C-alpha cells in the first residue's frame, strides 16, 4: 500500500509535469508555467496595442502605448536587433516600470514567434540586368526562395551564405544587375537574424527556467557577456560543416533562380507592408521629434545613400513627393524612421522606400552590442577623456545640444577603448576632437584636418568613422617622426618621395592590391590616395581584430563583413593576400600591432590565407583576364579561354589545401564541394562574357540572330528563317555548350554556341 504522503507527492509531481508539458506544448519549448504565462501576457499586450493604436495622446497612458507600439514596429522592421531593443525598453524613462516589462515580454514573444525582421518583397523587384534577354524573378518569388533557403537550412548562416553565392553567380552571368547580390544579401541578413534570434530566445528562456532566474535580468547579463548568436560579429570564418552545407545549397538555389526567370511579371504592388503603427504613426513622429536623443548615423547614412532613388521615384498623388521629402529629412533615428516610414507608405510607397528600409535595418546591425544610452545616463567627462588618451581637448559646436554631449563622450570613450585593444601602441597626445560640422560641410562623413590636427565628428554622421579618422592621425604622426614635418601624411609623402624606401614599397603594394579588390567601374568613386587606402585598410584591420574577440563596435567602425563593408568605402583585402601582407608592413612602420595580432592577421589575410567559399568565387570572378589579341570577331572559345586558366589555377589552390582542413571523409566532401563551386563560378563568368558580347560564332549565322534577338517579339521567326528551322531545334542548351567551351579543346566545327539558353530564345 502506498503511504498517503508519498501518494500526494507523486500526484503533485504528475500535476506539475502536466503543467510543464501543457506550457511547453503551447510555446513549442518547455519553459515552465510561469515563463509560458509571461509569454502569453506579452502576446496579449502586443495584440491589444496593435488592434487599438491610440490616435491621440490624451493621457500619459496613451503616450506609453505609442512608445510601446514604436518598439514593436522597430522590431518588425529589424531596426536595431530584438535583444538590444528589449534592453532599451527596460530602461526607457518614458515608460512606467510595469510597462517596460510588458513591452519586453511582448518583444520576446514576438521574436520567438518569428514576427521580427520583416522584409518587404518589393525591395527585390526590378533586378534584371540590362543585357539579359529574360526578366529576373519578381520580388515575391525571390524573397520566398531566400526565406525558404535560410529557414530550412540546418544552420541559418549556411542558408545566408548560399544566397550570397547564388546571387553573386547570377550577377556574374548578367542575369541580374550588379547590385542584386548586395540587395539579396541584405534580405538574407534579416532572415538569418530572425532565425538566429528565435534560437537565442529559446536558449535564454530554457536557461532562465533551469536556473530559476529572471529572464529579463538574464537577457541583460547575456548582452553584456556577448552571448547571443544574433549579436555576434560577422567577420569570423564559418565552421567547415556550415560552409559545406552552404556550398551544397548553392547549385539548387541557382537553378531555382533560373527557373523563376522569365515568368510573367506581376504588376508591382506598392505594399505598405502592414505597419503596426496605424493611426499612432503621427503621434510617434511627434514623440520622436521631441525626444532628446541624438541622430543615429546608420539611419542618416541609409537615407542619404538612397536620396536620389527616393526623390526620383515615380507614381503617387501630388503629395507623394512631399511625403518622400519628409521621410528623407525627418528620419534621423530608428524611432523616427519607423514613424516616418509608416506615414510615407500611406502616400508614396514603392521600391525606393522598401530598399531604404532594408538598408537602414542592415546598417543598424553594427550597433548589435551597443550599451543603451538615455539622456541623463553617466558618461566620461572631457577631462577624463583627455587624461586617459592624451587628447588636447574634446570640444563641441554650439549647435550640438547640451543634452546630447554626454552621448558623444560615451561614444568616443567606447570607441577609443576598443581601438586600444587592437592597437595598444596608440598614442593620441596632442590630438583635438571636435564634435560638430567640419570645414567641408556635408561632403565628408567625418574629417581629419592635418594642418591643425583636429578630427571633426559631425553629430549626424560620425559614428562608425572613428577608426578611419584615427588611422589618418596615426599616418600624421608617422610623417612627423619619419620626415619631421607637420601637416602631411607619411603614406602620401613616402609615395611622392623617390627614396621612400620600404614604407613606400609597402604602400605601393597596398594600393595596387586594393585596386584589384575594387570593381573597375567604382574606382573613380573611391579615392586611391595612399592615406585613404591606408585608412580604409586600418578600418578593416580594426573591425576584424575585434571580431576575433567576439566584439564589434558600431561607433568605431561600420564594417560588418566582406559584403557589408560600411559607409566609409572600406574594401576587404584582396584574395591573393598581397594587400594583407602590405598593410602589416605599413603598420609595422606606423603603429605596430601586438605580435599575436600581427601573426594572426597574416594567417587570415596574408599570401597563405585560407580561402572561404566566397573567396573562391571572388577569385574566379575578379581576376583580370588576359584578352590581348582577342577582337570582336573572335570565336567564343577564344573569349572564354582565359576563364579556363583562372578556373584551373583556383582548383589547384583547392587541391593544395589552401581552404582549410577537416577530418577524414568530411575533407573529401569539402574538396569536392569547393571544386564544384569553382566550376560554377567559371561557368557564370563564361556565360557573362557571352551575354556581354551578344553571342559568339561557331556557326556562321548565329551572330545575325544575336543582333536581332533584343528587338521585338518576332525574333524567333527571324531566327528560324535565318537558321533554316525552329529556334528550339537550332539552339543547343547553353549549359552544355559552356561545358564544352570550358574544356581544354576547341568545340567541333559547326557547333552553335549562344549567349542564352534555348528556353530564353524560345521566349
Phi-psi region of 29 (alpha: psi -120 to 50; beta: other; left: phi over 0): beta
Burial category of 756 from C-beta neighbours within 10 Å (exposed 0-12, middle 13-18, buried 19 and up)? buried
Q: CATH classification of 382-609 is 1.20.950, yes or no?
A: no
Bridge partners (DSSP) listed for residue 456: 434, 447
Question: In terms of pLDDT, which residue wins out, 763 or 367?
Answer: 367
Question: In terms of pLDDT, which residue wins out, 440 or 429?
Answer: 429
| 120 — pLDDT class (breaks 50, 70, 90) | very high
Domain ranges in the chain are: 1-30, 31-116+272-367, 121-197+224-260, 382-609, 617-762
Residues 6+ apart with CB under 8 A from 670: 240, 243, 244, 247, 659, 660, 662
Residues 6+ apart with CB under 8 A from 272: 342, 345, 346, 349
Q: State the Cα–Cα distance between residues 103 and 85, nearest whole angstrom.
A: 10
H-helix or E-strand spanning residue 433: strand 432-435
Q: State the Cα–Cα distance between residues 374 and 421, nearest whole angstrom.
A: 26
Average pLDDT estimate for 143-154: 96
Q: State the Cα–Cα distance between residues 391 and 283, nearest whole angstrom.
A: 43
Is residue 445 within 8 A of residue 462, CB to CB? The reply is: yes
Average pLDDT estimate for 55-79: 91
Q: Given CA atoms 378, 379, 384, 389 in this order, what sign does their dihedral have?
A: positive
| 130 — pLDDT class (breaks 50, 70, 90) | confident
H-helix or E-strand spanning residue 447: strand 447-449
Which residue has 532572415 as its cell numbers? 191
pLDDT score of 105 more than 90:
yes
Question: In terms of pLDDT, which residue wins out, 686 or 166?
Answer: 166
H-helix or E-strand spanning residue 168: helix 156-172
Q: How large is the C-alpha radius of gyration of the chain? A: 28
Average pLDDT estimate for 110-128: 93
Neighbours of 450 (CB within 10 A): 18
Question: In terms of pLDDT, which residue wins out, 139 or 29?
Answer: 139
Is residue 87 within 8 A of residue 220, CB to CB? The reply is: yes
| 703 — pLDDT class (breaks 50, 70, 90) | very low
Q: State the Cα–Cα distance between residues 676 and 684, nearest whole angstrom.
A: 12
pLDDT score of 728 more than 90:
no
| 706 — pLDDT class (breaks 50, 70, 90) | very low
Instruction: Supply the pLDDT for residue 10.
Output: 46
pTM of this structure? 0.87
Bridge partners (DSSP) listed for residue 395: 434
Phi-psi region of 397 (alpha: psi -120 to 50; beta: other; left: phi over 0): beta
Average pLDDT estimate for 178-205: 96
Q: State the Cα–Cα distance between residues 356 and 359, nearest whole angstrom.
A: 5
Beta strands in 598-664 (DSSP E): none
Is residue 611 within 8 A of residue 658, CB to CB? The reply is: yes
Amino acid at each position: 500500500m502506498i503511504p498517503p504522503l508519498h501518494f500526494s507527492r507523486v500526484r503533485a509531481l504528475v500535476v506539475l509535469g502536466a503543467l510543464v508539458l501543457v506550457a511547453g506544448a503551447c510555446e513549442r519549448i518547455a519553459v515552465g508555467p510561469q515563463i509560458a504565462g509571461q509569454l502569453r501576457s506579452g502576446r496579449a499586450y502586443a495584440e491589444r496595442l496593435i488592434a487599438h493604436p491610440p490616435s491621440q495622446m490624451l493621457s500619459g497612458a496613451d503616450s506609453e502605448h505609442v512608445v510601446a507600439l514604436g518598439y514593436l514596429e522597430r522590431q518588425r522592421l529589424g531596426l536595431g536587433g530584438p535583444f538590444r531593443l528589449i534592453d532599451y525598453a527596460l530602461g526607457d524613462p518614458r515608460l512606467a516600470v510595469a510597462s517596460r516589462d510588458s513591452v519586453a515580454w511582448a518583444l520576446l514573444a514576438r521574436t520567438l514567434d518569428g514576427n521580427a525582421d520583416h522584409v518587404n518583397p518589393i525591395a527585390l523587384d526590378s533586378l534584371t540586368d540590362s543585357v539579359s534577354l529574360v526578366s529576373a524573378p519578381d520580388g515575391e518569388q525571390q524573397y520566398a526562395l531566400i526565406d525558404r533557403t535560410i529557414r530550412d537550412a540546418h544552420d541559418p548562416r549556411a542558408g545566408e551564405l548560399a544566397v550570397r553565392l547564388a546571387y553573386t553567380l547570377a550577377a556574374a552571368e548578367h542575369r541580374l544587375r550588379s547590385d542584386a547580390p548586395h540587395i539579396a544579401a541584405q534580405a538574407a541578413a534579416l532572415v538569418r537574424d530572425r532565425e538566429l534570434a528565435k534560437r537565442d530566445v529559446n536558449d535564454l528562456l530554457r536557461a532562465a527556467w533551469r536556473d530559476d532566474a529572471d529572464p529579463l535580468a538574464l537577457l541583460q547579463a547575456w548582452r553584456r557577456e556577448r552571448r547571443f548568436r544574433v549579436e555576434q560579429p560577422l567577420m569570423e570564418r564559418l565552421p567547415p560543416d556550415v560552409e559545406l552545407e552552404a556550398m551544397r545549397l548553392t547549385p539548387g538555389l541557382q537553378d531555382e533562380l533560373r527557373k523563376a526567370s522569365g515568368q510573367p511579371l506581376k504588376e508591382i504592388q506598392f505594399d505598405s507592408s502592414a505597419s503596426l503603427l496605424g493611426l499612432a504613426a503621427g503621434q510617434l513622429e511627434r514623440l520622436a521629434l521631441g525626444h532628446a536623443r541624438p541622430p543615429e548615423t546608420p539611419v542618416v547614412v541609409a537615407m542619404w545613400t538612397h536620396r536620389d532613388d527616393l526623390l526620383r521615384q515615380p507614381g503617387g498623388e501630388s503629395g507623394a513627393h512631399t511625403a518622400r521629402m519628409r521621410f528623407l529629412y525627418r528620419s534621423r533615428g530608428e524611432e523616427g524612421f519607423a514613424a516616418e516610414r509608416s506615414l510615407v507608405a500611406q502616400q508614396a510607397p514603392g521600391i525606393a522606400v522598401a530598399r531604404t528600409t532594408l538598408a537602414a535595418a542592415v546598417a543598424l546591425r553594427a550597433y548589435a552590442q551597443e550599451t543603451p544610452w538615455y539622456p541623463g545616463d553617466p558618461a566620461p567627462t572631457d577631462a577624463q577623456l583627455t587624461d586617459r588618451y592624451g587628447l588636447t581637448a574634446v570640444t563641441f559646436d554650439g549647435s550640438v545640444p547640451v543634452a546630447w554631449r554626454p552621448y558623444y563622450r560615451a561614444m568616443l570613450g567606447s570607441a577609443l577603448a576598443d581601438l586600444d585593444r587592437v592597437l595598444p601602441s596608440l598614442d593620441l597626445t596632442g590630438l583635438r576632437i571636435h564634435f560638430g560640422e567640419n570645414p567641408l560641410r556635408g561632403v565628408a562623413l567625418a574629417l581629419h584636418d592635418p594642418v591643425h590636427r583636429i578630427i571633426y565628428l559631425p553629430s549626424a554622421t560620425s559614428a562608425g568613422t572613428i577608426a578611419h579618422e584615427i588611422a589618418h592621425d596615426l599616418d600624421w604622426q608617422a610623417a612627423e617622426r619619419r620626415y619631421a614635418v607637420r601637416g602631411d601624411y607619411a603614406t602620401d609623402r613616402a609615395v611622392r618621395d623617390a627614396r621612400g624606401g620600404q614604407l613606400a614599397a609597402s604602400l605601393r603594394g597596398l594600393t595596387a592590391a586594393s585596386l584589384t579588390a575594387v570593381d573597375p567601374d567604382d574606382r573613380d568613386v573611391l579615392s586611391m590616395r595612399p592615406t585613404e587606402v591606408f585608412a580604409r585598410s586600418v578600418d578593416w584591420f580594426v573591425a576584424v581584430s575585434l571580431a576575433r574577440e567576439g566584439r564589434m563596435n558600431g561607433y568605431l567602425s561600420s564594417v560588418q563583413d566582406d559584403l557589408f563593408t560600411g559607409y566609409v568605402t572600406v574594401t576587404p583585402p584582396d584574395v591573393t593576400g598581397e594587400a594583407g601582407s602590405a598593410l602589416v608592413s605599413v603598420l609595422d612602420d606606423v603603429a605596430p600591432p601586438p605580435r599575436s595580432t600581427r601573426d594572426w592577421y597574416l594567417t587570415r589575410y596574408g599570401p597563405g590565407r585560407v580561402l572561404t567559399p566566397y573567396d573562391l568565387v571572388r577569385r574566379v570572378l575578379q581576376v583580370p583576364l588576359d584578352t590581348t589579341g582577342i577582337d570582336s570577331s573572335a570565336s567564343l572559345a577564344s573569349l572564354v579561354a582565359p576563364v579556363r586558366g583562372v578556373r584551373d589555377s583556383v582548383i589547384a589552390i583547392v587541391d593544395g589545401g589552401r581552404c582549410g582542413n577537416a577530418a577524414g571523409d568530411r575533407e573529401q566532401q569539402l574538396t569536392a564541394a569547393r571544386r564544384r563551386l569553382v566550376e560554377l563560378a567559371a561557368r557564370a563568368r563564361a556565360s557573362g562574357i557571352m551575354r556581354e558580347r551578344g553571342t559568339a560564332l561557331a556557326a556562321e549565322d548565329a551572330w545575325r540572330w544575336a543582333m536581332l534577338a533584343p528587338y521585338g517579339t518576332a525574333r524567333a521567326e527571324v531566327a528560324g528563317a535565318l537558321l533554316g528551322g525552329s529556334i528550339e531545334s537550332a539552339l543547343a542548351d547553353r549549359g552544355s555548350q559552356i561545358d564544352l567551351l570550358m574544356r581544354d579543346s576547341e568545340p567541333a566545327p559547326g557547333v552553335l554556341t549562344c549567349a542564352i539558353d534555348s528556353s530564353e530564345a524560345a521566349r
